[in-house]
Amino acid sequence: MRVLVTGGAGFIGANFVHWTRSNRPDVELTVLDALTYASDGSSLGDAAPLVRGDISDAALVDRLVGESDLVVHFAAETHNDNSLSDPSPFVQTNVVGTFTILEAVRRHGVRLHHVSTDEVYGDLELDDPERFSETTPYNPSSPYSSTKAASDLLVRAWVRSFGITATLSNCSNNYGPYQHVEKFIPRQITNVLDGGRPKLYGDGLNVRDWIHVDDHNSGVWAIIDKGRSGETYLIGADGEETNRAVVEAILRELGQPEDAYDLVRDRPGHDRRYAIDSTKLRTELGWVPEYPDFAAGLKATIAWYRENEAWWRPQKAATEAKYAKVGQ
């Protein structure tokens, strides 16, 4: 099987390539990535050939899709805070880029797996007994999540109106190696490694539902192998934690007092809580997470950032300067 991986030089895409190399030696991979600020060619190493290009480049996308049996579409602008300061690349890449891929898979009759987020469902109250499921109505809050919601709806419409073969997944917050230092967990780990303090938005009590990136990617493969076209599958591993609890665990692991953090300006429109019910993926496709122990996964991730300073160091100062400008 020839698989085109968009966004394969980013966090989840690079881990997807490595996972696939280890577990699916029969698969031939090509990565299409624009190598934006969020990517790092070294995450990918020589695990797959890389074509540098934009998913909105119709001619390039048409050629690469035409040479593939399956497209796994990770490429996106992904950081909520950036979408608040400049939504424009989010609309371009997440909406127009996905449209460009859809038109190419339609022309060539190639299957698509579209990778999306639980943020399309909006947020939950802290005490809400419900979790997100495949039937939860879309209610996105941020420019990022609204452009991801738009891309999901385009995929669904192309299945229904044009009969393309496509599956969708909406996953909760990923953690693991090769995640950019702008994101919550790597930012706090590298702050402490740098002798600084973690920064918690607002009251620090927002909840995220953490999943190891390899479990996300094994879920994507379960859907590629056994999912039905037109269907959406939620991927989550029952990893709900408050942001404060995550920061306390990082501080403990790095030998600091667990209250050595700062509360900073809240994110405008900050979603309060995400929580995924992944019953459909587990019961229909038989998926189970391999890393359900968040505390153990967090420790391993802290060790990875400790041992791979050369990977994250080049991005750190500029990322912190951007946060400092907005009081975060």
The tally of CA atoms less than 13 A away on the side-chain side of residue 138 is 16
| Rounded-to-integer distance, Cα 13 and Cα 40, Å | 11
Catalytic hit among 119, 152, 241, 271: 119
Q: Is 34 one of the binding residues for ligand NAD (CB under 6 A)?
A: yes
The H or E element spanning position 10 is none
Query: What single DSSP character describes residue 126?
Result: T
Among 18, 111, 131, 187, binds ligand DAU (CB under 6 A): 187
Q: For ligand NAD, which is the closer residue by CB, 260 or 323?
A: 323
Catalytic hit among 54, 121, 144, 152: 144
Give the strand pairing for 166-171 and 211-212.
unpaired
Query: What single DSSP character describes residue 136?
Result: S
Q: Show the site string, 129-148: x = touches ligand NAD by CB under 6 A, - = not.
A: -------------------x
Q: Is 148 helix (H, G, I), strand (E, B) or coil?
A: helix
Is residue 54 a contact partner of residue 62, using CB atoms and an 8 Å limit?
no
Among 55, 159, 249, 251, binds ligand NAD (CB under 6 A): 55
From residue 169, how far is each of 34, 44, 51, 221, 236 by CA, in Å? 23, 23, 25, 11, 10
Q: Is 221 one of the binding residues for ligand NAD (CB under 6 A)?
A: no
Q: Show the site string, 83-122: x = touches ligand DAU by CB under 6 A, - = not.
A: ----------------------------------xxx---
Q: Is 171 one of the binding residues for ligand NAD (CB under 6 A)?
A: yes
Q: Is 174 one of the binding residues for ligand NAD (CB under 6 A)?
A: yes
Q: Which residues contact ligand NAD by CB under 6 A?
A: 6-7, 9-13, 33-36, 38-39, 54-56, 74-78, 93, 97, 115-117, 148, 171, 173-174, 180
